[in-house]
Structure 1
């Protein structure tokens, strides 16, 4: 009898969940596995809450088909030369600008191919959705998918709010104390940092953003013609929410509009998954000296570094007392040291959660830095491109680790930095202190994301949380029209006052002058 009642209760509960569930499309067209990990983490609490979730990707998902539908589109992956070329030219300002253009162009082309995949076209013809959760990375024209389904849209962004995102939701531009992503993560800004930040924002507003907007709008109009869909500018006003992979505890401190919700660390599991048996045995056996984890992320490859650098890294790591897990992408390894375990792909979050991990040698991608700080693991950073230089600079300034430029790698320097972070407890103590602050929140990142996404669904787009800045052009937003109006009034007032002053002056002093002239004339006549 009790079992029957319990079963009836579970059935009723499941029916309640189904009744309250929404059809949600997760559109994550990205060639970066690290980006997909974050976007997928946004969807997981929605799946757990019983929503009808469809996830569209161009990359495979390990748990595909578990309690949700997965559609993988057939888009060719980014060529190896694409990322290696970016790494090689990323040091200079010119290299940064050139790489940004390359990434923009490739991302737009890649995303456009995804929209024309037969599976995607079939989905748009046959399905309907209550909400689109959209992973954004230079593919904003895909917001037209939400226009097609006539539903609200939530953006998932894998960084803190930057200029490209801020302009969309009307987040205020605070150029004097909020550094752009490529400028740095450390506040307050010194004088020359403020100059650099101002010039960076100016350069983006004058050249980069107009270029991106032009290319994006062109692709939007091509895929979503105006005779059937709202315009691109109208759809930008339809974005209900942006989930950013950032948190106030890690900086940068800035004011955010209500449509920006911070979910930094969302990819970190509350309880790590069990490690594969070989990894578990390898790490459990490192209880005495500990272990080092070395990975350059999902985009760059350790194997693509020059042979001399690889030799230096191997020689130093193979002589450590600690065991080393090295993400190595090729079958041919740099050596066969007994203390090094090579793997092509690794469950990074689960590895960093292991108590025997003493050091993380990382490229400094935002996700990697977040996971390392969350688990209280100090770092040695070897930044390669994009925001990684700023991320590792912030790590070093916070005392959470040390930085080493890839062009400065020598055996002596690499060994010295690695041994310093391993042997000096200051780095570990500081990053673990930060970890406690980072975890101290009223809601977990996943619960926060789920609550606000469901909030948008409940309130049909939640237009009431939008900033009025979304509906203002630049002239209105920065009060240039008001300033011009006030200056015009001031000009008219000054003109009127000048005219009145002249007339008064002429009335009083002009009469006296005439009287004086008249008296002078009469005196001359009398003489």
Structure 2
């Protein structure tokens, strides 16, 4: 006999489920990632993959071949020219401070962004997809602000992904406060709390970033924006930038610096790190499993190939590593290998996150790119840093200060220092203990980075761009943000009040003086 109460219960449950607001409706999301760097695409594609696994229909356009072969998104490759190899080679063989190459870097990046936008694959994509084809666009930010016009083209909200802690150009997108009195700039290499001279240095660094970088960015982006988004059809780029719903930064407050963030600035540090590592290729797994004394992982990042380094520098590295009693896994093109040894395995591309998760990896020799440092911190692997360019020197300095490892100067690198530094970090337990302690802290979150990313994207979708999250600072210029207009007005008022007061005092004095003179004359006449 059928249980009537059970039927009633099932019907009630079904009605309740149907009546609940549907917060997981599948949205059409476009991921637009024109950065030439593979390490950048790792970050951006991780967000796209998380959204795909959450049930959304995600399409990714990228100028780098798909790195995440198992990513849950539709991938379209835009085969534009990539200047990353040339730029990296120049920086390695002719190192210069980043500010000396800033103009060249910005020009190259914006030039490639223009080429990407005008590429036949991109133009065909736009012809096939008209207004309202997408519910949201996820941009991989790399100085390509004129691309924000795509949000007006598709009439949908904008979410931006940035690969390090927020800097001036990123903060300005959502009105995030700079706070240069105590928040070090990305490239300064300064540590909190700032000393007086640290604040001076930070102020000057921020001023240079504001005047130089912002000018270069605005000039290049405004030039190309009107090429693709004419004034008779689209608002200005400044207006477009005032409608950005959200910015993701690959950063976490536990890394420092401590800083205030507006609601539209969301930290997703470590988004590229898998919650469960993928199985390693069998040959790599065997190499690491057989490392009785431990293994060293050596990679100078996704943009640096072995052939970029001078042969004498490569030979120096090989001579030291080949004589150590450790297995070595080296990201290097085997055809350009500086030598072969039983303890060294070369591969042109390696699953870095999965390798660092292996328990036998005891040391990471790295270029100190932000993504690499974060993965090393997450897995608790100490580092020897060989920074090359960009934010890497500042990242390496932070590694030293935090006690996670040591750093070497690439230009003056010699065999003795290289060997001694490796041995110091491997043999001194303080580096391993310190970074493992931080690993526990870094992982301690209410939600994973992927969960945070999915929640906030869906929040923006649910609330049609979430205008209520927008900071009023977006609509103020620099003078207004610093209240210089208010201070000027109050000073003007004070000046007028003081002027009136002085005039009144003079008038009163004159009248009194006049009366005194009049009395004196009358007295003289009466006498």
| C-alpha deviation, 1:235, in angstroms | 0.5
- Are residues 411 and 63 of structure 1, via their aligned partners in 2, closer, same or farther at CA, if it must alter by over 3 Å? closer
| Secondary structure of residue in 1 paired with 2:335 | coil
Number of aligned positions between the proteins:
508
Aligned Cα root-mean-square deviation (Å): 2.0
- Are residues 219 and 30 of structure 1, via their aligned partners in 2, closer, same or farther at CA, if it must alter by over 3 Å? same
Q: 1:478 aligns with which of 460, 466, 482?
A: 482
Q: Which residue of 1 aligns with 2:471?
A: 467
| C-alpha deviation, 1:104, in angstroms | 1.1
Q: Which residue of 2 aligns with 1:295?
A: 299
| C-alpha deviation, 1:140, in angstroms | 0.9
| C-alpha deviation, 1:218, in angstroms | 0.8
Q: 1:22 aligns with which of 27, 30, 34?
A: 27
| Residues 84, 303 of structure 2: 8 Å contact kept | no
Does residue 1:116 correspond to 2:118, yes or no?
Answer: yes
- Are residues 506 and 492 of structure 1, via their aligned partners in 2, closer, same or farther at CA, if it must alter by over 3 Å? same
Q: Give, in whole Å, the separation in 1 of the partners of 2:488 and 2:94.
A: 44
| C-alpha deviation, 1:191, in angstroms | 2.4
Does residue 1:409 correspond to 2:445, yes or no?
Answer: no
Q: Which residue of 1 aligns with 2:178?
A: 173
Q: Give, in whole Å, the separation in 2 of the partners of 1:327 and 1:462.
A: 43
Q: Which residue of 1 aligns with 2:501?
A: 497
Q: Which residue of 2 aligns with 1:154?
A: 159
Q: Which residue of 2 aligns with 1:372?
A: 376
| Secondary structure of residue in 2 paired with 1:331 | helix
Q: Deviations over 1:155-184 (max 9, x none)?
A: 000010001111121111211111111102
Q: Give, in whole Å, the separation in 1 of the partners of 2:514 and 2:361.
A: 94
| C-alpha deviation, 1:78, in angstroms | 2.3
| C-alpha deviation, 1:107, in angstroms | 1.2
| Residues 297, 363 of structure 2: 8 Å contact kept | yes
Does residue 1:223 correspond to 2:225, yes or no?
Answer: no
Q: Which residue of 2 aligns with 1:248?
A: 253
Q: Deviations over 1:333-384 (max 9, x none)?
A: 2111111111111000000000111000000000000000010000000000
Counterparts of 1:202-241 in structure 2 under 5 Å?
202-241=207-246
Q: Which residue of 1 aligns with 2:7?
A: none
Normalising to structure 1: TM-score of the pair?
0.93
Q: Deviations over 1:431-455 (max 9, x none)?
A: 0111111011111011001100111
Q: Deviations over 1:3-38 (max 9, x none)?
A: xx9xxx9xx99xx99971100000011210000000
Q: Give, in whole Å, the separation in 2 of the partners of 1:65 and 1:350.
A: 15
| Residues 365, 388 of structure 1: 8 Å contact kept | yes
Runs of 4+ in 1 over 6 A off after TM superposition: 16-19
Q: Which residue of 1 aligns with 2:92?
A: 87
Q: Deviations over 1:456-478 (max 9, x none)?
A: 11111111101101111222222
| Residues 103, 216 of structure 2: 8 Å contact kept | no
| C-alpha deviation, 1:99, in angstroms | 1.8
| Residues 360, 378 of structure 1: 8 Å contact kept | yes
Q: Which residue of 1 aligns with 2:3?
A: none
| Residues 306, 336 of structure 2: 8 Å contact kept | no
Q: Which residue of 2 aligns with 1:448?
A: 452
Normalising to structure 2: TM-score of the pair?
0.93
Q: Give, in whole Å, the separation in 1 of the partners of 2:501 and 2:183.
A: 43
| Residues 45, 68 of structure 2: 8 Å contact kept | no
Counterparts of 1:254-269 in structure 2 under 5 Å?
254-269=259-274
Does residue 1:507 correspond to 2:511, yes or no?
Answer: yes
| Residues 359, 378 of structure 1: 8 Å contact kept | yes
Q: Which residue of 2 aligns with 1:102?
A: 104
| Secondary structure of residue in 2 paired with 1:292 | strand
| C-alpha deviation, 1:71, in angstroms | 0.8
Q: Give, in whole Å, the separation in 2 of the partners of 1:167 and 1:176.
A: 17
* Structure 2 alignment gaps of length 5 or more: 1-9
| Residues 42, 67 of structure 2: 8 Å contact kept | no
Q: Which residue of 1 aligns with 2:359?
A: 355
Answer with 18-27 or 393-402: which moved more.
18-27
Does residue 1:389 correspond to 2:412, yes or no?
Answer: no
Does residue 1:343 correspond to 2:347, yes or no?
Answer: yes
Does residue 1:36 correspond to 2:73, yes or no?
Answer: no
| Residues 154, 241 of structure 1: 8 Å contact kept | yes
Q: Give, in whole Å, the separation in 1 of the partners of 2:338 and 2:123.
A: 45
| C-alpha deviation, 1:245, in angstroms | 0.4
Q: Give, in whole Å, the separation in 2 of the partners of 1:298 and 1:113.
A: 22
| C-alpha deviation, 1:65, in angstroms | 7.6
Q: Give, in whole Å, the separation in 1 of the partners of 2:238 and 2:321.
A: 53
